[in-house]
Structure 1
Amino acid sequence: MELIMSVLAGLLFTAGVYLLLQRQVLKIVFGTALLSHGAHLLILTMGKLNRGQPPILEKGIEHYADPLPQALILTSIVISFGVTSFLLVLAYRAYKTNKTDNMEQLRGSDHD
């Protein structure tokens, strides 16, 4: 199962980097979102995908789930949601101000 999750995280990273290299701002925003989802899967996979009892230490419980990867992923989800929201608002504002979403035209170097 870890192998499948690692391959899926790699595919998300690949698609995210591809979208980051595009010219349209909205594709760049989607690329950052895919990169963050790939990071979530990578953190989950690094924490080992095992099932067990809740992480409450009591006598008789030997196999319990590690709560650290879930806590890190939850924090990462909140941060990536905030960053994605900020980037969407920034892209909308840049489009309304400049009437374009092309990064080359926003930079002022229109070589096309």
Structure 2
Amino acid sequence: METLIILVSGVLVTVATYLLLSKNLTKVILGTAVLTHAVHLLLMAMGGFKGDTVPIIDNNSDKYVDALPQALILTSIVISFAVTAFFLVLAYQVNNQTQTDDLSKLRGYRHE
């Protein structure tokens, strides 16, 4: 199962790289969002949660699940949603000011 998640993460990184190399501002923002989700999947796979042990330390069990990867991923998800929302608002304002979302046309743009 971990191998499948790592392969899906690799496919998402490939898609994110394609989107990041686009000239469309919206596609670049979506590429950063997809890249962060690919990293979240990779961190979950590296965390090694198999589902057969309880996440709480009990007196009878000697094995437990490390909750640190899940906590780091949850924090990263919240931060990535906030950054994506900020980028989308910024792209909306750029589109209102310049009437374009093409990055090659935005290069060298001077506000009047």
Query: Taking structure 1 as the reference length, what is the TM-score of the superposition?
Result: 0.91
Query: Are 2:101 and 1:89 aligned?
Result: no
The CA deviation at 1:63 is 2.7
Residue type at the aligned position of 2:66: D
Unaligned runs of 5+ residues in structure 1 are none
List 4+ stretches of structure 1 deviating above 6 A. Answer: none
What is the root-mean-square deviation of aligned Cα atoms in Å? 1.2
* In structure 2, distance between residues paired with 1:53 and 1:83: 33
1:24-64 CA-to-partner distances (Å, cap 9, x unmatched) read 1000011000000001001101111311112x322111232
Q: How many residues align?
A: 108
Quote the residue 2:16 is aligned against: 16
Identity of aligned residues (%): 47
1:8-31 CA-to-partner distances (Å, cap 9, x unmatched) read 000111100100000110000110
Asked if 1 retains the 8 angstrom alpha-carbon contact of 2:57 and 2:63, the reply is no
Unaligned runs of 5+ residues in structure 2 are none
Query: Taking structure 2 as the reference length, what is the TM-score of the superposition?
Result: 0.91
Quote the residue 1:53 is aligned against: 54
